Chain A
Amino acid sequence: MSDAPPTGLKSWLTTTDHKRIGLLYFWTALGFFLVGGLEALVIRLQLAQPNGHMVSAETYNQLFTMHGTTMVFLALMPLAASFFNYIVPLQIGARDVAFPRLNAFSYWVFLLGGLFLNASWLVGPLFHAGMLNVAPDGGWFGYANLTERQFSPGPNIDFWVLGLQILGISSLAAGFNFIVTILNLRAPGMKMMRLPAFTWMTLVTQFIIITAFPVITVALVFLLFDRFFGTHFYLPQAGGTPLLWQHLFWLFGHPEVYILILPAMGIVSDVLPTFARKPLFGYTVVVYSGILIGFMGWGVWSHHMFAVGLGPIADSVFAATTMLIAVPTGVKIFNWVATLWGGDIHGTTALHFAVGFIAMFIIGGLSGVSHASPPADLQQTDTYYVVAHIHYVLFGGTVAGLFAGVYYWWPKMTGRLLSETLGKWHFWLQFVGMNLAFFPMHFIGLLGMPRRIYTYSPDLGVSDLNLVSTVGAFLIAVSILVFLYNLWRTRRHGQRASNDPWGGATLEWSIPSPPPVYNFSVIPTVTNRLPRWRTELHGPMQDPPAMPPAPIHVPGGSWWPMVAALGLPVMALAPLTHTPWVAFVGVALLLFGIYRWAFEPFEV
């Protein structure tokens, strides 16, 4: 009823407000990002010199598995989800997402799934006396048949399979929620081709999520059945084939790459026009190329498998589809450059990160073309050359794009502007650090060092390059510390943000920072793609009044999404501990939570 949001722990645990859930996603994902980063630092320390022995082979294998799994599923996807939650409803002129309690459910499932996976670092003694960690150790790609019970008898892979199943439910629920939200809750006049580019890329991403996650769900169910019930989907000695796993995993895994990059592309497409003071160049083309990438991402999965010997025809076809996907990607880059061209570019930190995204993503994209060519890929795949490639795409690209979003929307989300001075320090340290860390990896790979090895011989001649890479990794760590300090400092000393500190064109800048619980005092009517800007055709829209003309009902919180979510990890404990009855407790919790949720009165 009132503008003042409720406070206290309970109000956060039961919240169904998309803005609070967005903040919960942000802080949780940031926490996991730091965990994944620490894992990367230990990896880099081990590889700083040949014959490193800081950690054992077993621990190293757990570290790179968990680094990849954490960064993909627990850091980058949910950091993007933080902006889906907070920003998308504001950009389309809505008061919340379509299913606020389902949204809370998605968050709690994500949090619990992440904790479930990471618990494997600590609960070793419960499984094997004298062993600290039983973290997953089959790589983030979990190739069968190495991940079968015969070769991985411990609970390590069980944690991974069950954890990913839990996280998949979170992503799927959120995917459907955002599709319905974007399609159905748009303000009057917000036609599809008036949606901000970030919202468009969010929509495309959600469609990829709801189609790609079922594929990995099936792959994981097969693996689960193999491990627990003696089926042989991936067991060659019983007529199965480990290649089935690879096809299913990459059929999910390649669209997943676009799940990770498209939101960042959306952020960049919003940030550049704001700070160049110029509309996005070729909006329609940028949107359609995003949709095209979403579709084409489904036809390229076997380029992860050129070394398995699929035959020259299949290799040629997948090489061609993979190279084709470079076309819509290149089109986006040219449109971004054209957006900047002729603009009045304000060099904010957000703009730095957005331009950094373009500059680094180009490198990742070009090295990608070199392993789109199967014969070249046969030398490059599974070497550090590919490690360099993915980090230029996912760190130089996605992470930079997400940081552009953080600096851009932080004032909207918290009411305070992050320090620009610290932001520039953060940007430049990260930029130099990432190039030091990842550029030498191109050479390390071409000189013959495979990835996923815990030790290497000094004879390879890559020792000094590895040391440089490690120094770069620590420089990145310093840049992240600067960022954390910036966040901490801003809580008290950050400059207060007006409704619109940047002069943005989209609806989120028409309301207070942070927005009131109901977002818009009056739902705006949209007449064009840049509602808040004056263009040759129209003037800026009028911002909604500070006070709502009539009281706005905002639904209260609910415990039941969290209770239902809790049922899932409890169910997962049953196979993990080989205790069937625990599954019934989990199912009971889930059903009870859903039952109470379904019959919860609206007026609370």
Chain B
Amino acid sequence: MPRIRLWLLAAALAVSGCSGPFPQSTLHPRSDFARATDVLFTEIFWWAAAVFVVVELLLVVAIVRFRHRAGRPAPKPMHGHTLMEIAWTLAPAVILVFVAVPTVRTIFATAGDAPPDALKVEVIGHQWWWEYRYPDLGITTANEMHVPVDQSVQVAITSADVIHSFWAPALGGKRDAIPGKTTFIAFRADSVGDYSGQCAEFCGASHANMRLRVMVESGVGFEAWVAQQKDGAAAPPKASLAEQGKAIYARSACIGCHAIQGVSPGVIGPNLTHVGSRSTIAGGIFPNDSAHLARWIADAPSLKPGSMMTRMQPPLSDADIAALVAYLAILK
């Protein structure tokens, strides 16, 4: 672990009273992209620290050593010194060369190109949730991206409405999601784990509530996830609460926006075919449990300002909501 990270963490921990760990830290890189950036930042940090110490020291020495004292003779009126001017023009220029060369090298190394066999994932930003499509696998899901460890991933990013920015700090820098344009990042995750991130470009009322996760899984785990996602929507058992829920879903406003394979084709909201397999709802701000789902279905805008999922009119009864929740829960 580079020293800078230890140093920064130690300082942060000291100030924050040890409230870590830091799931969204930029200083815990877990991919080639994030590591390249981290190495570069470390280098720049040490140059900056050296310049900081030298210049601040000069300043402090000057104001202490030359502070006014009674009887100090009038200073010599020194107007300038050509050699010194040349020296302190060249010195920062030379330091900047040492910053610029690795910078340009890293720019090209992290330009977003991945090998042709990379897993392709399309990211589409929506106010205020993330849609992920795996074009080669035929999978559509929301907010939680699954990728295999030690395999290159090519992420193509765009937006369905305003500008967002896709950012999972452990896996790399952010890239804007711009309507009418596709941008790219590429990374190769090197550790299995559940990494959090969130939208980084201000995108309206619930910008703060547009969170995301990237689940980096072992090859086997990822294959299992793919198999599950490629399956059709689960059918509820006969005469169960979930079956009632499916009927309520099919006759309510839900179908206007949401897709469940074989049930409804909506494209505005998140695809719910496998919603029960996700760990969070509502743009990653609540755990996916029946209590939160029920509150969310009843009145989404009160939980998430500006939510496009309006209050149901007329409102659903508590019994109907319970049935809906039971249905969504079986959609593993």
Q: Using CB atoms and an 8 Å cutoff, list the residues of chain A in contact with chain B.
A: 56-58, 61, 138-139, 143, 145-146, 151-152, 236-237, 241-243, 276-279, 281-285, 307-309, 311-312, 315-316, 319-320, 323-324, 326-327, 330-331, 333-335, 337-338, 340-347, 355, 358-359, 362-363, 366-367, 369-370, 372-383, 440, 443, 446-457, 459-465, 468, 533, 535-536
Contacts and interface: CB of A to CB of B under 8 A. Distances in A.
A382 B174 contact: yes
Nearest to B11: A443
A312 B111 contact: yes
A448 B208 contact: no
B104 A327 contact: no
A375 B80 contact: no
Contacts of A440: 15
A447 B27 contact: yes
B238 interface: no
Given A373-B103, A465-B12, A366 B52 contact: yes
B84 interface: yes
A323 B179 CA distance: 31
Range for the number of chain B residues in contact with chain A: 35 or more
A345 to B, nearest CB: 5
A278 B99 contact: no
Contact of A278 (B8, B27, B77, B111): B77
Contacts of B305: 56-58
Contacts of A468: 15
B6 interface: no
Given A146-B202, A277-B74, A369 B15 contact: no
B24 interface: yes
Interface in B268-322: 285, 305-306
Contacts of A236: 178-181
B32 to A, nearest CB: 12
A446 to B, nearest CB: 5
Given A308-B178, A327-B92, A375 B77 contact: no
Given A340-B66, A375-B110, A379-B41, A281 B74 contact: no
A359 B22 CA distance: 31
Interface in B42-82: 44-45, 47-48, 51-52, 55-56, 58-59, 62-63, 66-68, 72, 74-81
Contacts of A324: 96
A242 B37 contact: no
B206 interface: yes
B108 A367 contact: no
A450 B211 CA distance: 11
Contacts of A366: 48, 51-52
A465 B285 CA distance: 22
Given A443-B8, A447-B12, A459-B23, A278 B75 contact: yes
Contact of B205 (A61, A327, A344, A449): A61
12 contacts: A279-B79, A309-B112, A316-B103, A319-B107, A333-B55, A334-B55, A338-B78, A340-B63, A379-B37, A382-B201, A446-B12, A464-B17
- Listed from nearest, the 3 A-B pairs whose CB atoms lie closest are A378-B173, A448-B24, A236-B180
B99 A323 contact: yes
B36 interface: yes
Given A316-B104, A346-B68, A446-B25, A282 B81 contact: yes
A355 B63 contact: yes
B75 A277 contact: yes
B23 A282 contact: no
A347 B68 contact: yes
Contact of A456 (B51, B112, B178, B208): B208
B58 A375 contact: no
Nearest to B42: A376
B314 to A, nearest CB: 23
A133 B312 CA distance: 27
A450 B169 CA distance: 11
A243 B181 contact: yes
Interface stretch (B134-142, B160-168, B228-236): B160-168
Interface in B28-42: 34, 36-38, 40-41
Given A281-B78, A370-B41, A454-B208, A307 B176 contact: yes
A326 B67 contact: no
Given A307-B165, A448-B25, A462-B19, 4 more contacts: A57-B305, A152-B204, A343-B66, A358-B59
A452 B207 contact: yes
Nearest to A241: B180
Contacts of A450: 167, 198-200
Interface string B82-110: 00110011011100100110011011101
Contacts of B99: 323, 369, 372-373
Interface string B142-163: 0000000000000000000111
Nearest to B97: A323
Contacts of B199: 450
Contact of B106 (A152, A242, A323, A375): A375
B66 to A, nearest CB: 5
Most chain B CB within 10 A, of A278, A327, A448, A535, is at A448
Interface in B165-206: 165, 167, 169, 172-176, 178-181, 183-184, 196-206
Nearest to B103: A373
Contacts of A338: 78, 81, 84
